[in-house]
Structure 1
């Protein structure tokens, strides 16, 4: 299930093969994703959940920040993705 802070792998579109973090949920079919680099928090991409591969990791830092302030820094998004990718050995 999509939830704020979950790391996803993009499976189609311009960002295919890259990782992003869910920063918003539009409805049951669409979510907003950002990676903190090319796709920043202030301009998230609306993606169909069918075009995303949900990873088993939810970034606690991102989820807490979104819950407390409704925002998250781009650096925090980049850090969450980098930490996940290093853990996977990519």
Structure 2
């Protein structure tokens, strides 16, 4: 599994309809796939399954999501949406 593949990490899509959009990794399926969420179109109820090779991994990690998942508390779409909005990344690839 890729070292940069971590729950709570901010990623950018580099292919598909959602190209250049920001997402948070909310679950890791295996070494090739993750579930990502943006809190708006791809909510926690309907996360997007995405191949790792189609993502650009940033160094930004949402500690709130890691803590909420570790304690078993529910993560809210609003938390993800606010985090992504506050950490807008340069979308040039």
State TM-score, norm by structure 1.
0.90
Partner of 1:5: 8
When residues 40 and 17 of structure 1 are mapped into structure 2, their CA distance, relative to the original with a 3 A threshold, is same
| Alignment root-mean-square deviation, CA | 1.5
Choose which of 31, 36, 48 in structure 2 pairs with 1:33: 36
**Structure 2 unmatched ranges of 5 or more:** none
Deviation (angstroms), 1:89: 7.1
Q: By percentage of residues, which structure has more helix?
A: 1
Structure 1 residues not aligned, in runs of 5+: none
More divergent stretch after superposition (68-77 vs 13-22):
68-77
The alpha-carbon distance between structure 1 residues 89 and 28, as it changes in their structure 2 partners (threshold 3 A), is closer
- Deviation sequence 1:25-51 (CA, Å, 0-9, x none): 000110000000010011101100000
1:4-83 to 2 correspondence within 5 Å? Answer: 4-69=7-72, 71-83=74-86
